[in-house]
Amino acid sequence: MSGYLSAQLSILCLNIIIAYAIFLPAATGQLNLGAGGFAIIGGYVGGYLNSSFDGLGWAMSVSIPVAALITAIIAFALSFPILRTRGVYMVLATFAFAEVVAGIVLNLEVVGGAAGFPVDGHADLKILAPITIAVIVFCWFLLSTRFGLAMRSVHDDENVATLFGINVRWIRVAAFTLGGLLGGLYGALYGHQYNYIEVQNWNVLFNIYVLLYVLLGGTQTPFGPLVGALFFTVVPELLRALGESLNSELIADGRFALFGILIVLMMVFRPEGIVTRTLLERLSGRKTQEAVT
Amino acid sequence: MLLMQQIVNGIMLGGVYVMVAVAFTLTIGMLNFLNFTIPALFMVAAMVFWATMSGGFGEGFDSLFGSVLPVGMQWVVGVLLALIAATLCSLLIERFTYRYMKTRYGDATEHAIPLVSSLGFLIIFEHIVIMIWGTDPMSLNSPFGAATWRVGGLLIGVPQLISLVLSIAIVAALHLLLKRTKTGRALRSIAENPDTALLLGVDVQRIVPVVYVVTGLLCAIAGILFAINYRTVGPYIGEQVATIAIAGMVLGGLGNIWGAIVGGLIVGLLEALATYWFGADIVKVPIWGLLLLVLVIKPTGLFGQSAIGKGKF
């Protein structure tokens, strides 16, 4: 496998994991614009545990799960105040959370502050790919369980979900915490993949992009974030390659602007995301209710 | 005295935040929509102003206007072009956001459509500017130089002072527009309930662009003032500077114009004082931390009342 391809596949794997981290809360109708906060916590905790203590740091097989767990615990503690907010307030609260985390870590001299933090252990594609597949399978399984159905009902209508005896608060807390777990996992893997982390990797634009992966992919089915992350990773690369082959600077430099245009058009023509429940049913040949009537 | 100077600086910086915070709060108060393109409009205006002043549009543009305009009046063209650019961009956003807000399938994330579109526009505008002028910060030849007044040992920048007075004046004018004019009444009725407004004979589709025009103008003025005050512009000033105004908006309460003024000034003060006491790196922590606290403890902001945007977008 060429170096370019494996580098791209690694990015794809990482993007898929963080997309699922934001997807889980989004599947219960909560928009989380704070992906960077989780990624920073996971990345720095994982990197610190692995690379500090004068070479006596923990092995990757320990440091990555511990980083994910610690992030999940923080997400759990955070979910109670944050889930008091709704809608646009929640978008702002999670956004503020990510900014606070970035600001604090930027000033922590223990982890290098603004200069960044080098991480020793290297996680290559052989480690990333199985973890990514496990994450996809886990989320896919989770949404097929009773818990997943409950998530879907909370997303569609909270009041009705309450009427059917679902503990809405618990579902939302659980989804947010699981999102934190995956976000921490992403951060730790990212640090070990690139062996270097800095807060600037997870800036405002990162938060925005991740939320867009999920919303463009679609929050109705567990395949949405997969397609969204794939789309966001592959299309800019294709556009870059196209620009290079056509020798067109317009396409090569303007690919992100083109990408923004795609986003806006998507929202006009397919506001529920690329993958929706109806699309899957149509593809699998099952008749939907709409198709019958 | 040094502390007093920082307070003065903070209030001056607050003047820029006030305008952007008012733009945010106006859109969310009237249309119930968090317009994330506002930072980009701010940036586009600042960049267009810079380009007119410092040759960003190339030789031909400069020689054309240089022959028409008397020397030293270039900034008038810059201001006009910046206002026009931001307003046009804002109207473009209107075309693709508010119109698609209506819930069609009764789905919770359906309300996120305009939010996502506005994030898309943020990316579009930022990268178009990067395509044209690159990512480096540019320095501006200020038309007013570093004019300062010395009041009892305090250094007050004249452009800063003008911008503060201007921003409060503009918001006062906006307040009058909303309270006294027919358009203002129509806008407030839309804020209450778009469907009822339609029933009462308000042409919602025609009147909504007014909000976007005002938003574009406010952002443009804030961007120009920022460019004059700090004399450095770049494609990232939108997300780095203008997003802080979100904190000002929330502090004042979503949809509350006078609250946004106070909130913007508080954020400016907080930023100046935090820089003075703890250094420039840590500035984000108190501002966003305060925002997080306010959102969790008292989401209606410091002045209470409205619960706009709660439960929906």
CATH of the domain at A117: 1.10.3470
Least confident of B120-129, B165-174, B189-198, B216-225: B189-198
Angstrom CA distances, A276 to A155, A228, A263, A280, stand at 14, 12, 16, 6
According to the model, what pLDDT value does residue B216 have? 92
Q: How many CB atoms lie within 10 A of CB A77?
A: 12
Residues B111 and B98: their CA atoms lie apart, in Å, by 10
Which residues from chain A sit within 8 angstroms of residue B109, using beta carbons? 26, 29, 31, 155, 215, 219
User: Is B312 within a domain?
Assistant: no
Domain count, chain A: 1
Band of pLDDT at residue B105, cut at 50, 70 and 90: very low
What is the sign, positive or negative, of the torsion defined by CA atoms of A170, A175, A178, A180?
negative
Which among A70-74, A243-247, A275-279 has the top mean pLDDT? A70-74
According to the model, what pLDDT value does residue B70 have? 66
CB spacing of A212 vs B313 below 8 angstroms? no
User: Is B307 within a domain?
Assistant: no
Residues A188 and A42: their CA atoms lie apart, in Å, by 5
User: Is B141 within a domain?
Assistant: yes
Classify each residue of A213-244 as buried b or exposed e, where b means 16 or more C-beta atoms within 10 Å of its C-beta.
bbbbbbbbbbbbbbbbbbbbbeeeeebeeebe
Least confident of A46-60, A114-128, A151-165, B19-33: A46-60
Which residues from chain A sit within 8 angstroms of residue B28, using beta carbons? 88
Q: Which amino acid is at B204?
A: V
Mean pLDDT, residues B262-267:
89
Angstrom CA distances, B126 to A3, A63, A66, B129, B150, stand at 31, 38, 38, 5, 38
According to the model, what pLDDT value does residue B75 have? 78
Q: Please choose, from the candidates A187, A184, A181, the residue with its C-alpha nearest in 3D space to the C-alpha of residue A201.
A: A187
Mean pLDDT, residues B212-241:
86
Band of pLDDT at residue B107, cut at 50, 70 and 90: very low
User: Is B89 within a domain?
Assistant: yes
pLDDT in tens, B271-312: 888 888 887 777 888 888 888 888 888 777 777 655 444 433
According to the model, what pLDDT value does residue A287 have? 56
Place of tokens 């002028």: B133
Mean pLDDT, residues A239-257:
76
For chain A, give the mean pLDDT. Answer: 84
Report CA dihedral (B275, B280, B282, B284) to the nearest 10 degrees.
90
Q: How many CB atoms lie within 10 A of CB B170?
A: 18
Query: In this model, does residue B111 exceed pLDDT 50?
Result: yes
CB spacing of B313 vs A107 below 8 angstroms? no
Nearest Cβ partner for A96 among B107, B117, B292: B292
User: Is B310 within a domain?
Assistant: no
For chain B, give the mean pLDDT. Answer: 80
User: Is B303 within a domain?
Assistant: no
Band of pLDDT at residue A272, cut at 50, 70 and 90: confident
User: Is B178 within a domain?
Assistant: yes
How wide is the angle at C-alpha A10 spanned by C-alphas A7 and A11, nearest 5°?
90
Residues B243 and B280: their CA atoms lie apart, in Å, by 17
Please give the residue that has the higher pLDDT: either A183 or A124.
A183
Mean pLDDT, residues A174-187:
93
Q: What size, in residues, is chain B?
A: 313
Domain count, chain B: 1
pLDDT in tens, B43-77: 999 999 888 877 767 666 666 666 666 666 777 88
How far off is chain A from B306, nearest CA to CA, in Å?
13
By percentage, how much of chain B surpasses pLDDT 90?
6
User: With an 8 Å Cβ cutoff, is B244 touching chain A?
Assistant: no
Query: In this model, does residue A293 exceed pLDDT 90?
Result: no
Q: Residue A192: in which H helix or E strand, if any?
A: helix A168-194
B261 Cα distance to chain centroid:
12
User: With an 8 Å Cβ cutoff, is A115 touching chain B?
Assistant: no
Query: In this model, does residue A82 exceed pLDDT 50?
Result: yes
How far off is chain B from A245, nearest CA to CA, in Å?
19
According to the model, what pLDDT value does residue A72 have? 94
According to the model, what pLDDT value does residue A286 have? 63
Please give the residue that has the higher pLDDT: either B282 or A11.
A11
Which among A55-59, A85-89, B183-187 has the top mean pLDDT? B183-187
Exposed / middle / buried, residue B195 (Cβ in 10 Å: 0-12, 13-18, 19+)? exposed
Which among A132-141, A259-268, B183-192, B205-214 has the top mean pLDDT? A132-141
Angstrom CA distances, B64 to B59, B67, B69, B70, stand at 9, 6, 9, 12
> Could you tell me which residues come within 8 angstroms of residue A273 by beta carbon, excluding any fewer than 6 positions away?
A215, A216, A217, A218, A219, A220, A224, A228, A266
Please give the residue that has the higher pLDDT: either B58 or A92.
A92
Strand extents, DSSP E, A6-138: 117-118
Residue of A nearest to B99 (CA): A268
Q: Are A117 and A195 in contact (CB under 8 A)?
A: no
User: Is B61 within a domain?
Assistant: yes
CB spacing of B124 vs A211 below 8 angstroms? no
Query: In this model, does residue A42 exceed pLDDT 80?
Result: yes
Q: Residue A59's domain spans which residues?
A: 3-292
Which residues from chain B sit within 8 angstroms of residue A93, using beta carbons? 292, 295-296
According to the model, what pLDDT value does residue B312 have? 37
Query: In this model, does residue B152 exceed pLDDT 80?
Result: no
Least confident of A7-16, A51-60, A154-163, B229-238: A51-60
Q: Which amino acid is at A78?
A: L
Q: Residue B245's domain spans which residues?
A: 2-297
Place of tokens 């839309």: B190
According to the model, what pLDDT value does residue B137 have? 82
CB spacing of A208 vs B128 below 8 angstroms? no
pLDDT in tens, A182-241: 999 999 999 888 888 888 888 888 888 888 888 888 888 888 889 888 888 888 888 888
Please give the residue that has the higher pLDDT: either A79 or A284.
A79
According to the model, what pLDDT value does residue A132 have? 92
